[in-house]
A and B are shown apart, each in its own frame.
Chain A
Amino acid sequence: MFEIIEKKALASEIVSLIVEAPLIAAKAEPGHFVVVRVSETGERIPLTIADYNRDRETIELIIQAVGYSTIQLSKLEEGDQLLDVLGPLGEPVEIEKLGRVVCVAGGIGVAPIYPKAKELKEAGNEIISIIGAQTEEKLIMQDRMESISEELYLATDDGSIGHEGFVTEVLESVLEENEVDEVIAIGPVVMMKAACEVTADYGIDTVVSLNPIMVDGTGMCGGCRVTVGGENRFACVDGPAFDGHKVDFVELMRRQDHYHPQEEKAMHRCKLEEEVGRDG
């Protein structure tokens, strides 16, 4: 089974779970993800393998509580078990020596960018990182990103730390001042879209990691299909990393909203359960 052997709060509503998963830890590479189901009645949700430790036979999941399933996950404690963890899934990102790579991440996107940045650094690249969040309390993994970056820039919507505004504004000035060989951008779709618009102006290759709604994660349902370069691709097996300049972000954003009414209903239920839990 998949036991949680360590739990840490990283920021407001963001937790890190170290999960025992020997087979997955043995095969994990940067860019891989897992599909998790918490309990018998749970849904299958994809989560990036934010880090892994082959000796301890563990993987790290970093979860932002945004809805029913992620809240359920965040409430688990050390010693609890996850019912299903399937992986490693997706294609790992190619790690090559390119020169100078800029890693731009927003919100929970720092989790998936970290293992790639780490390996890129180990492969001899110079890493410039730009990470952002709504506010300082929601900024995660600053220390880990710092340890592998030549330069680290911060941005928050409210200016509580770093640049006040978007990471893409910082990206613009970094590109203005540096020769850059590649950009990796991971975060909310709007952010990735904006980052690709910036890099397109500079003609710099940009890799993004897409997060469409998934079910199986093995190429069986087609629910994760995205349009890349005019073609239909399954993000779970062909991605999740793609050439950002070819992605139809507008379609992706729309598809992510497919279940909005149901998700609200589930959240409502979540709140009711909490109240019942508190009262009795």
Chain B
Amino acid sequence: MANRQKMKKQQPEKRINNFQEVACGYTKEEAVKEAERCLQCKDSPCVDGCPVEVPIPDFIEEITNENFDQAAELVKEKNALPAICGRVCPQAEQCEAECILGKKGQPVAIGALERFVGDYELKQDREIEAKTDKDIKTAVVGSGPAGLTAAADMAKLGYQVTVFEALSDPGGVLRYGIPEFRLPKSIVDEEVQEIENLGVEVRPNTLIGSTLTFDDLQEEGYEAVFVSTGAGLPYFLGIPGENLNGVYSANEFLTRVNLMNAYRFPEYQTPIEVGDHVAVVGAGNVAMDSARTALRLGAEEVSIVYRRSRNEMPAREEEIEHAEEEGIDFKLLRNPVKILGNEEDWVAELECVEMELGEPDSSGRPRPIPIEDSNFTIPVETVVIAIGQGPNPLLSKKELNLETTEWNSIVVDDDTYQTSIPGVFAGGDVIGGSATVIAAMGDGRKAAREIDKYLQQK
């Protein structure tokens, strides 16, 4: 069996000094060669691993035939954001985990092929004609992957769709969270543009709950609402020193850099401050992104501080490898207990305690247990807290009829995605806590179908 086609990447020494994309994508020849590895399995187990059921063998076959238009059409029927998912999906745990070839050797590089097809499609400048011919208005709240997918699907079904977004630009986490070197903003712009071409209108600077309420939407004639406001509320550790200067939530750190382009200060006016020594607390995608961003902003030494071991790190495998290649220092089985400041109240040291792993906890992962008297400090000037985030309570605070859990997740019916308010549906991170781009898109897709049913019965 031929080996997987390697994707060209920027060398670590070079890439830590710029914000350009790390992985360069396949050439046409590489894509065809990789596609030829696929066995075209009749029962296509890979598709079972994909939350939106991309017809994987079919589109790969079209690549081998160099029918890229055909391949793109097949993918886009199921996935409105292929250039994005090809880059950020945790493929290793999803479609590629189920690939037959993976049982003995390396699975087909499904994600890389999807990215190739997505990028190809973006270069075509195809004229799409909007088919929003139904005289029924629908609203989407939040323009992350869940909202964009639901919007695209509802537009394809013929509905008028308006996406309301609080921030200045659409994309949700794709815009403000995931950094340029992993997902160029030009790709987000172009894929969002494709969705707008379907007839979807995006209205930025509109905070639902404040600028407009559900009642306003109803008065303006929106007959169904899909809420996909994500999980944007940053969690803090609750340890002493978290309000010292130099301590960021990952959301703030990444928003300044990604949404506001602080890495180009002073050309862009949003400032950011990164010391020579940076500690990032946590080990998910958000933590990896923060650590690698800090490196690119000029930090000399960046550490990931994580209370469990490498096995339990929730980040995509590829991101962990990239972080290691770039020289991020992994301080595993270490837990911060205190942040110490200097006389001007800037961060000076992070005090940690060593941990050991015990029995599995409710999450199924081994419980980290502090080792007594093992405290030590590391000198740092910047700390980024990336231990997770939950749904922002802002909307549910204003819309009192919207039922939520004690963690602010919106409660929905498992089958219909309908919330406690008739005609209001929800999906993505806001119903399940933070998950993945593709899971959010899967929700958007299913909810769009349910909204269609609801509107037809109405």
Q: Which residue numbers of A lie inside 8 Å of B, CB to CB?
A: 23-24, 27, 37, 41-44, 68-69, 83-89, 215-216, 218-223, 225, 227, 232, 237, 251, 254-255, 257-259, 261-263, 265-266, 269
Contacts and interface: CB of A to CB of B under 8 A. Distances in A.
B436 to A, nearest CB: 19
Q: Is the interface of B mostly helix, strand, loop or mixed?
A: loop
B166 A86 contact: yes
Interface in B197-242: 204-207, 210-212, 232-234, 236, 242
A84 B168 contact: yes
A255 B234 contact: no
B255 interface: yes
Interface stretch (B85-93, B128-136, B245-253, B321-329): B245-253
B360 interface: no
Contact of B252 (A85, A221, A263): A221
Contacts of B251: 220-222
Interface in B356-413: 392-394
Given A44-B260, A219-B392, 13 more contacts: A84-B168, A88-B211, A89-B207, A219-B393, A221-B252, A222-B249, A254-B245, A257-B245, A258-B245, A259-B271, A262-B265, A266-B269, A266-B271
B211 A223 contact: no
21 contacts: A27-B210, A43-B260, A84-B168, A84-B204, A84-B205, A86-B211, A88-B211, A215-B252, A215-B270, A216-B255, A218-B207, A218-B392, A219-B392, A221-B249, A221-B252, A221-B255, A225-B236, A227-B243, A232-B242, A254-B245, A262-B273
Contacts of A42: 269
B300 to A, nearest CB: 18
B434 to A, nearest CB: 13
B271 A83 contact: no
A220 B232 contact: yes
Q: Which interface class (under 10, 10 to 19, 20 to 34, 35 or more) fits B?
A: 35 or more
Nearest to B272: A262
B47 to A, nearest CB: 35
Contacts of B243: 225, 227, 232, 251, 255
- By Cβ-Cβ distance, the 7 closest A-B pairs, closest first, are A262-B271, A221-B252, A222-B249, A220-B232, A43-B270, A43-B269, A259-B271
A4 B204 CA distance: 19
Contacts of B392: 218-220
Contacts of B167: 86, 216
A23 B213 CA distance: 11
B256 interface: yes
Contacts of B234: 220-222
Contacts of A261: 273
B205 A85 contact: yes
Contact of A222 (B206, B236, B272): B236
A83 B168 contact: yes
Contacts of B393: 219
Residue with the greatest number of chain A CB neighbours at <10 A, chosen from B167, B271, B344 = B271
A79 to B, nearest CB: 20
Contact of A69 (B211, B236, B242, B269): B269
Residue with the greatest number of chain A CB neighbours at <10 A, chosen from B167, B248, B268 = B167
A175 B209 CA distance: 40
A88 B260 contact: no
